[in-house]
C-alpha cells in the first residue's frame, strides 16, 4: 500500500481580504495627503512672503503692500496684507499671521488645519496690530 501522506506546506503571504484592506487604507492616506499638500505648500509660500515683506518695508503700509504683491505672484489668497499682525520690536517690525483651512473629506466629515507663522525671533505669534 502506498502511503498517501501529503506534506502540507505552510502558506505564506497576504490573503485577498488583507490585501484589499491594506490597499483601502493606503488609498485613504493618499487621498488625505493629496488634499493636505496644497495647503502646506500655500503655508510655506505665506511664510516666505512675510519674511520678504518684513525686509522690504519699514512701515506697516509698506509691509502690507509688499505682502500683497507677493500674494499676487505666489497665487495664494488665504491671508491678505490687511490680515497681518505687525508689531514694532525695537528697530525691526515683527510680522505674524494665523488662519485656518477646512478641508471636506466625505459626507459631514472634514479636516480643520490651523496655520500660524511669524518673523519674531521668539517664535511667538503676535495678535496685536500696529496701525
72-120 tens-digit pLDDT: 998 998 999 999 999 988 888 899 999 999 999 889 999 999 999 999 8
For residue 32, the 8-state DSSP code is H
Look at residue 89 in the predicted model and tell me its pLDDT: 83
* C-alpha neighbours within 13 Å on the C-beta side of residue 79: 30
Tell me the whole-structure pTM to 2 decimals.
0.78
Confidence band (pLDDT; 50, 70, 90) for 127? low
Distance CA 105, CA 51 (A): 32
Helix (H), strand (E) counts: the chain: 2, 3
pLDDT in tens, 5-53: 555 566 678 889 999 999 999 999 999 999 999 999 999 999 999 999 9
Residue 102 contacts residue 91 (beta carbons within 8 Å)? no
Q: What angle do CA 106, 110, 115 make, to 5 degrees?
A: 145
Closest CA to 131 of 58, 50, 70, 59: 59
Please report the pLDDT score of residue 130 as a whole number.
44
The pLDDT, as a whole number, for residue 102 is 95
Amino acid at each position: 500500500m502506498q502511503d498517501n501522506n501529503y506534506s502540507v506546506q505552510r502558506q505564506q503571504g497576504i490573503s485577498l481580504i488583507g490585501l484589499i484592506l491594506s490597499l483601502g487604507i493606503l488609498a485613504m492616506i493618499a487621498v488625505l495627503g493629496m488634499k493636505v499638500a496644497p495647503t502646506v505648500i500655500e503655508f510655506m509660500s505665506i511664510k516666505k512672503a512675510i519674511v520678504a515683506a518684513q525686509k522690504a518695508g519699514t512701515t506697516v503700509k509698506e509691509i502690507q503692500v509688499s505682502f500683497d504683491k507677493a500674494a499676487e505672484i505666489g497665487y495664494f489668497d488665504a491671508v491678505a496684507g490687511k490680515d497681518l499682525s505687525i508689531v514694532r520690536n525695537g528697530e525691526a517690525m515683527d510680522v505674524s499671521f494665523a488662519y485656518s483651512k477646512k478641508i471636506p473629506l466625505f459626507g459631514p466629515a472634514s479636516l480643520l488645519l490651523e496655520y500660524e507663522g511669524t518673523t519674531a525671533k521668539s517664535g511667538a505669534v503676535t495678535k496685536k496690530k500696529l496701525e
